[in-house]
Amino acid sequence: MSLSVFQRQLLGLDENALLARGRHKLQPAVWNAWTYLSLAAEKEGYKLQIASAYRSYERQLSIWNGKLSGERPVLDDNDHTIDIRDLSDAECIRCVLRFSAMPGGSRHHWGTDLDVYDAAAVADDYRVQLSAAEVDAAGPFGAMHAWLDQRIARGESFGFYRPYDRDRGGVAAERWHLSYAPLATDFECAIDESLLRRLWRGEGGFEGNSEGNSEGKTAVRQPVAREALERELESIFERFVLRVARPPAAALAYLPPD
């Protein structure tokens, strides 16, 4: 199987089109819109910062494998660590998917999505957790997110919206996660589970990722998890990839000023 440039971007295997600013990478158009949004926020006393932007397939794979191997904690909805040894493979995968996308299936692969916080609301040495408590009305980032909600509702969010605005029974609500609708929608429409299946199996002359890794490195490394994932991929895909908010019309139609 040979992949087009677009498919490679979709799967987090090609970052050539992305632009780096500091330690984060995004599509140039997304940086442009981000600059406008940050300036608007600054006028209200907020200091928008990025916690996470582009993530490669390799990076997502290492997060995923870290959780499945017990090296990284798997949390429940109340931020308590789950003992994954008590779970079946299928249950374990669902718990991981609640907060971490499957490798190849993350919106962070596209260079269109980012996790944000308000640096003006916390001390310089504050460690951002991206937790529900932080973005609640009473949390440190609640005010900034309420302001952002209003901008999105008024169609003044420079193309950004919240794909995980509320819990739809798949990925948990993630108020911190923003998506740039004019570009993200193209990726969202193009992703399908057969592409992921082929990617994980490393079949058909799959070339590896942009760092030139071999086939073995790009496949999902935990065979048990991969089997459980593949067995239920159609329903998992619907629940954890496709079950997201539709972009508001104004965000989708956003055009940057000349």
Instruction: For the segment 111-150, give every residue that binds Zn ion (CB under 5 A).
Output: 115
CB 171 within 8 A of CB 98: yes
CB 134 within 8 A of CB 88: no
Between 49 and 213, CB nearer to Zn ion: 49
For the CB of residue 111, give the shortest distance to Zn ion in the complex, in Å: 13
In this structure, what DSSP letter does residue 75 have? B
CB 210 within 8 A of CB 16: yes
Longest alpha-carbon distance in the chain: 56
- Single out the segment in contact with Zn ion by CB under 5 A; choices: 9-17, 107-115, 151-159, 199-207: 107-115
- Single out the segment in contact with Zn ion by CB under 5 A; choices: 96-104, 110-118, 185-193, 248-256: 110-118
Binding mask 162-201 for Zn ion (x = CB under 5 A): ---------------x------------------------
**Phi/psi of residue 160, nearest 5 degrees:** -85, 145
For the CB of residue 108, give the shortest distance to Zn ion in the complex, in Å: 6
Between 27 and 202, CB nearer to Zn ion: 27
Between 98 and 177, CB nearer to Zn ion: 177
CA–CA gap between residue 231 and residue 227 (Å, rounded): 6
- Single out the segment in contact with Zn ion by CB under 5 A; choices: 3-11, 31-39, 109-117, 131-139: 109-117
CB 254 within 8 A of CB 181: yes
* Residue showing the smallest CB distance to Zn ion in the complex: 177
For the CB of residue 128, give the shortest distance to Zn ion in the complex, in Å: 12
Neighbours of 21 (CB within 10 A): 12
Instruction: For the segment 77-106, give every residue that binds Zn ion (CB under 5 A).
Output: none
SS3 126: coil
CB 199 within 8 A of CB 11: yes
For the CB of residue 112, give the shortest distance to Zn ion in the complex, in Å: 11
Look at residues 12, 111, 8 and name the one whose alpha carbon lies nearest to residue 52.
111
The number of residues that bind Zn ion (CB under 5 A) is 2
For the CB of residue 236, give the shortest distance to Zn ion in the complex, in Å: 18
Positions touching Zn ion (CB under 5 A) are 115, 177
